[in-house]
Amino acid sequence: MSIYLQHFGLKREPFSIVPDPGFLYPSNHHRQAVAHLKYGLDREGGFILLTGEVGTGKTTLTRTMLKRMPAHIRVAYVLNSKLNVTDLLASICDELGIELPTDSPESRGLSFSKTRIDALNQNLFQAHAEGKKTLIVIEEAQNLSADVLETLRLLSNLETNTHKLLHILLVGQPELLDTLAQKELRQLNQRVVSRFHLLPLEKDDVANYVNHRLHRAGAKGSLFNNACISVLFRLTGGVPRLINLVCQHSLLATYSTGSKVVSPKLVKEAAVEILGSRNTADDSKKSFIILIGLLVLIAVLMIGLVNQTVVTPEPSVDMEPSTDKQLPAAIELPVNTEPSINETAIDVPASPFSSLLKIWSVDSGAIYSEEEFSAQATDNRLRAEKITAAKISDLERINRPGIVWIKPSFESSQRGLKSYLLTALDKTAVRLQGTDGSIVVPLEKFLTGWSGRYLYLWQPVQGFNTLTAGDRNAPAVSWLQDQLAIIDQNSERIITGGRYTAAIAQKVASFQSQQTLMADGVVGRETIMRLNELANPQHPRLLGELP
């Protein structure tokens, strides 16, 4: 054991880049990947895909799976993907221990490939009769030529009347997905029974990953504090191989100083040494931009202090507020200022736009135009939607607080429309909020004065707008299944390999039907809103019983 390892109380190197299954950190993402691989093996043959960027741990995960493979599954593990068709077939036969005819193929009028495919076919039939499965694993599959991929597709055709005889696991970088998406390879792509894209570690997982490896190497405590982990995540992006390299050099640098705890400074220096000066340059650039921004802000504030000019914002044309502080006569009723059980109690700001943002926990200050309102919503990961001819059934379906525009009664001298925030709705009444407070209005009277215009907010999911059958978006599909599981605890998670498959689309269609939405299986705005509403009790709602 080296003095370096003894210094930290380690029994072995914790951050080697060798793909050792004993060091695999079982993050939630890796557990999902293993589940997808097992699911593919449980199917009756076909292709399984495992993709991911360089250094995300594909090989380690694959070897972990192979190490735990049941005895009845035979494995041909091909490391060299830059093989021609005949060499690939020879490698598979060698891995499976298939004996080939002693005479040359040419002497029997057969090609080299034909001889090996026949031998492989006969061997697979025999293995199947013995209750065994056969798995071919090919690493760096993004390097496979079109001819080799077509040969693999033909091998996947080997079957009995009821069973495929071969599983093929392709492990590669994201370019493999682009290759399989080509039109000439669509037949192979359609035979993929399970696929999974391995992502870098999340920030919360980096500390667990580092400590897991240290523990496996014999460490009695943590050598990297939280500040080190933050620097490590920022500079490596959560890529395990880069984390290993930076941590290894950080430990060496720490050993050279005689310390037994790594400092953030040494982590950053190690990252610069391993990754180059790109990150440092980026940090300097960001600092310069921030400095310029602060100088501009100071200049603007100074100009404002010198001018001392107070500007009264003009209401937008669409809003057309009245100088009359009372509600239009068409819906005048005594004010009830007690909030309903469904309503968030808030201080009344200067406009309904600000009030609506406040319900969504956004402090915006005074807002007097729809354009500014929409911009504020977007900046806070919300989205504004407006209906110009809504019905009460639309409001019930949307179930979100929103802004309504009220028409004056015919006997009133008031012109134009006045906007109010609609905060609650039940079968008999609504609650409106204006600059003077809240008022409960009978539903019939509200409908008499309401123009039909409705502006509301909803919370989209980052990373996608819609999901339709065949889409490949692993984070979106994962989010979707998480929401369905929260809503229905008996809901079983469907293994999709990051694709929005027909099976999960059918599950969504069933959910939509139960919720009286259009049951088309497409995850769009209304489906997302309903999922948000049912999965999150804190989500702002409109419907509820009024006192």
From the CB of residue 277, how many other CB atoms can be counted at a distance below 10 Å? 11
CA distance 441 to 332: 8
- The per-residue pLDDT of the chain, averaged, comes to 80
Per-residue confidence band for 205, with pLDDT thresholds at 50, 70 and 90: confident
Angle CA(274)–CA(277)–CA(283) in degrees, nearest 5?
120
Encode pLDDT of 72-117 as tens digits. 889 999 988 888 998 999 899 999 998 876 666 555 667 778 888 8
Task: Let me know: does 452 contact 404? Beta carbons within 8 Å.
Answer: no
Q: Which helix (H) or strand (E) holds 419?
A: strand 418-425
- At the topology level, CATH places domain 474-535 in Muramoyl-pentapeptide Carboxypeptidase; domain 1 (1.10.101)
The CATH number corresponding to 28-198 among 3.40.50.300, 1.10.645.10, 1.10.3720.10, 3.40.50.620 equals 3.40.50.300
Residue type, 229: I
- Using the structure block, give the residue that is written with the tokens 């933050």: 230
- Across 388-427, b (16+ Cβ under 10 Å) vs e yields eebeeeebebbbbbbbbbbbbeeeeebeebbbbbbbbbbe
CA distance 255 to 131: 54
Which tokens is 518 given? Answer: 């259009």
Flag whether pLDDT at 369 surpasses 80: no
- At the topology level, CATH places domain 203-276 in Helicase, Ruva Protein; domain 3 (1.10.8)
Encode pLDDT of 120-164 as tens digits. 888 988 888 888 889 999 999 999 999 999 999 988 888 777 778
Residue type, 285: K
Per-residue confidence band for 416, with pLDDT thresholds at 50, 70 and 90: low
What's the pTM? Answer: 0.51
Q: Cα-flanking dihedrals φ and ψ of residue 411, to 5°?
A: -85, -5
Encode pLDDT of 273-329 as tens digits. 887 644 444 444 455 455 555 555 555 555 554 444 433 333 333 333 333 333 444
Flag whether pLDDT at 475 surpasses 90: no
Q: What number does CATH give the domain 329-458?
A: 3.90.70.10
CA distance 87 to 125: 22
- Kindly provide the residue ranges of all beta strands, DSSP E only, lying in 376-417, ordered along the sequence: 383-387, 402-406
Which of the residue ranges 104-108, 117-121, 381-385, 513-517 would you say has the lowest mean pLDDT?
Answer: 104-108
